[in-house]
Amino acid sequence: MGAFLERALPPTLALGGFLAIWEVLTRALDVPAYLVPPPSAVLAAALQEPSTLLVGAMTTGRAALVGFAFSCAFGILAAITLATSRRLERAFYPYTVFLQTVPIVAIAPLLVLWFGPGLRAVAVSAFIVSVFPIIANTLAGLRSVDPALRDLFRLYGASRLATLVKLELPSAIPEIVTGLRVAAGLSVIGTIVGEFVAGFAEGAPGLGIVVLTSYRQLRTDVLFAAVLTAAGLGFTLFALVNAVGRLLLRRWHASELSR
Amino acid sequence: MPRSGPLDAALSAGGLHSRLSDAASGVGVTLRGVRRIYPTGLEAVASLDLTIEAGAFVAFLGPSGCGKSTLLRLIAGLDQPTDGSITFSRAASGASVAFVFQDPHLMPWRRVLENAALPLELAGVGERDRKDRAMAALEEVGLADAAVRYPRELSGGMRMRVSLARALVTRPALLLLDEPFAALDELTRRMLDDQLRALWQKLGMTVLFVTHTLSEASYLAERAIVFSKSPARVVADHTLALPREREHALRSTPAFLAEEQTLYEALVRGEAT
Ligand SMILES: Nc1ncnc2c1ncn2[C@@H]1O[C@H](COP(=O)(O)OP(=O)(O)OP(=O)(O)O)[C@@H](O)[C@H]1O
Ligand SMILES: [Mg+2]
């Protein structure tokens, strides 16, 4: 318990201090609420419209999760495939970088055309934004297997599959987890951006839509609340991935020792 | 593609369910005109002829970079000679080979027991059987207590013993060790030397042992082969005139020191050529 306090207290105090200064400054300088609302106003807005934010978080969270799940499955499989041969990697890896550099806002209209507005287009946007770090990190992990252990597997006549399952994947877990951590936050970002363009279809508007509408209505307090909710969503997903990673690595990997 | 390798043959020869106490006999190795030229153009081994009898304990000595590791990898089949042939005294696939590296190279995500059982697992031995046999191998290196621990929870010497247990678990007919104890302190190294020598006497496999330490070579081996600097040629092929039972007291006897001196002179000659 003492250790928990020791860890939780500093960030809590920092946040409290930050909010207090923000509150005092906006009031003292008389900043118009449509520019920067004080934290108390943001909180009030959030309490006033709990269902808007909750529904928004559900919609956005669902799309982000779907996109993230596809990123995990496709990203890891793609990396395993690319890792089977240097030639394959040379042929296709440069184009996966494309996924990283493509301006998602610019192609989001295409996604609407292809997938129709709503969850599908939004999830694809989340997928595109978050898949590259998973491919890149998994590939790096699969490639950096201890060569002596590789020799050992060869010496004992291990099949390609056994080498993948018993050697390459386990030793790539730290890198895979790193990729997933980055992808978790990115998938929420990709979802919000996707919603800006493609999120207007369904009855339950996502947080991206809440941001857009509150902006048009100059409800900056609601906008702040929506942005914070989206950040919270990304953080939750990140924390989830982190917990899974810790569970997988805690007994053996340096990154999770001495915690 | 699953390969029906030397290991399978040896396992079926020894009976899959035999306990570890069953002695596996060694395999002889013959090298004829073996050369290895790396793609970089570097000739690491130059036309080498060598015959190693079944059950021998041979030490390989030579200057750093002369090609000892290359030679060991060639014999293990981890690398192919550019020229020449390497044959085994039993049917082509009749030798099971084990390799011990300079560092333990354990799988950090596996417990000690599962690390030691790896070769059996890859050979398709059932879980119960392989755990029993891995446990017996760990007992042999004095690590039964550490079976459920993770490699990072062990000292360097303990990890090396796990590595040794992993190599012994298949009852190899040929055991290749590449400077296995070089990174350990003197006390631990001597203890492992004794264990290795005792296991060899008990199991009778052929052992090829690369080392830079003259006293270790003299203490362990029956025969020492000294290589010249790169590319490796045989400078001296010397049978050590020492008793079969080796104890630490032996190290200070005139006979032992004379053998060490002989090897030292051969090393110097190899460096000069
Ligand atoms: N994969 C490789 N490709 C190219 N050259 C190599 C390769 N492996 C080893 N060599 C070279 O071959 C020579 C022999 O190397 P090797 O590792 O066999 O020496 P060694 O006798 O084991 O040395 P040490 O005692 O330092 O371990 C060295 O010059 C080394 O640089
Ligand atoms: Mg070497």
Q: How far apart, in whole angstroms, are the C-alpha atoms of residue A31 and residue A38? A: 9
CATH number of residue A53's parent domain: 1.10.3720.10
Indicate the pTM of the whole model. 0.84
Which of A146, A154, A155 would best serve as a mutation to test chain B binding (most B beta carbons within 10 A)? A155
Which stretch of A128-142, A241-255, B9-23 has the lowest confidence by average pLDDT? B9-23
Asked if the bond preceding B180 is cis, omega within 30° of 0, the reply is no
pLDDT at A134 over 90: yes
The count of structural domains within chain A is 1
Given A153, A157, A251, which is nearest B2 (Cβ)? A157
The domain containing residue B190 runs over which residues? 10-106+173-272
Contacts of B99 in chain A (CB under 8 A): 151-152, 155
Q: Which of B78, B108, B152 lies at the smallest CB-CB distance from A154? A: B78
Alpha helices in chain B, H assignment, sequence order: 6-14, 68-76, 112-116, 118-122, 127-140, 156-168, 186-203, 214-220, 254-272
Q: Which of residues 157-176 of A touch B (CB under 8 A)?
A: 157-160, 162, 166-167, 170-171, 173
- In a mutational test of the A interface, the residue from B73, B99, B106, B107 whose CB has the highest number of chain A CBs within 10 Å is B107
CB nearest to B5's CB, from A149, A157, A252: A157
Distance B273 CA to ligand 2 centre (A): 20
Confidence of residue A257 (pLDDT cuts 50, 70, 90): low
Domain assignment of residue B21, yes or no:
yes
Q: Could you give phi then psi for residue B154, rounded to 5 degrees?
A: -110, 160
Query: What confidence tens digit (pLDDT) does each residue in A192-221 have?
Result: 999 998 877 667 899 999 999 999 999 999
Structural domain contains residue B122 = no
Nearest to B150 among A151, A153, A251 (CB): A251
Q: Which residues in chain B show pLDDT less than 70?
A: 1-24, 91-95
CA of B203 to the centre of ligand 2 (A): 26
Q: Residue B151: inside a domain, yes or no? A: no
Residue B69 CA to ligand 2 centre (angstroms): 4
Q: What residues of chain B lie within 8 A of the CB of A152, using their CB?
A: 99, 105, 118-119
* Secondary structure class of B182 (helix, strand, coil): coil
Reported as a pLDDT band with limits 50, 70 and 90, residue A19 is very high
HEC letters along B165-176? HHHHCCCCCEEE
Q: Is B123 in CB contact (< 8 Å) with chain A?
A: yes
Atom 30 of ligand 1, nearest CA residue: B65
The CATH number that applies at residue B189 is 3.40.50.300
Q: Which residues of A touch B76 (CB under 8 A)?
A: 155
Number of A:B CB contacts under 8 A?
A: 60
Q: Is residue B255 part of a domain?
A: yes
Asked if residue A188 belongs to a domain, the reply is yes
Instruction: List the single residue in B with minimal CA-CA distance to A170.
Output: B109
pLDDT at B10: 41
Query: Residue A59 is part of which domain span?
Result: 39-142+170-251
Cα torsion angle, B132, B138, B140, B143, sign? negative
Split into its structural domains, chain B has a count of 1
Look at residue A201 in the predicted model and tell me its pLDDT. Answer: 66
Q: Do A159 and B78 touch (CB under 8 A)?
A: no
**Which residue of chain A has the CA closest to B108?**
A252
Give tens-digit pLDDT for B25-50.
888 999 999 999 999 999 999 889 99
Q: Is A80 contained in some domain? A: yes
The predicted structure's pLDDT at residue A93: 86
Q: How many angstroms does the Cα of residue B71 sit away from the middle of ligand 2?
A: 9
Q: What is the pLDDT of residue A200?
A: 76
pLDDT reading at A46 higher than 60: yes
Residues, chain A: 259
Q: Is residue A1 part of a domain?
A: no
Residue nearest to atom 12 of ligand 1 (CA): B44
Atom number in ligand 1 closest to CA B227: 21
| A6 lies in some domain | no
Give alpha helix (H) positions in chain A: 2-28, 39-48, 50-84, 86-101, 104-115, 119-143, 147-155, 160-163, 169-198, 207-216, 220-249
- Determine the distance separating the centroid of ligand 2 and the alpha carbon of B100, expressed in angstroms: 12
Percent of chain A whose predicted confidence (pLDDT) is above 70: 97
Q: Which atom of ligand 1 is nearest to the CA of B72?
A: 18
Question: Minimal CA–CA distance to B60: which of B272, B216, B254, B166?
Answer: B216
Buried-state track B150-160, b at ≥16 Cβ within 10 A, e below 16: bbeebeebbbb
Which two structure tokens, joined as six digits, stand for B227? 């290589």
The per-residue pLDDT for A202 is: 63
Flag if A251 and B3 touch (Cβ within 8 Å): no
pLDDT in tens, A106-126: 888 899 999 988 899 999 999
**Set of chain B residues whose Cβ sits within 8 Å of the Cβ of A156:** 5, 7, 118-119, 122-123, 170
What does the pLDDT average to over A22-41? 91
Strand bridging mode B223-227 / B57-61: parallel
Q: Has residue A207 been placed in a domain?
A: yes
Question: So what's the pLDDT on residue A1?
Answer: 60
B-chain residues near A167 (CB < 8 A): 107
- Token pair of A125 as six digits: 């946007």
Contact B108, A153 (CB under 8 A): no
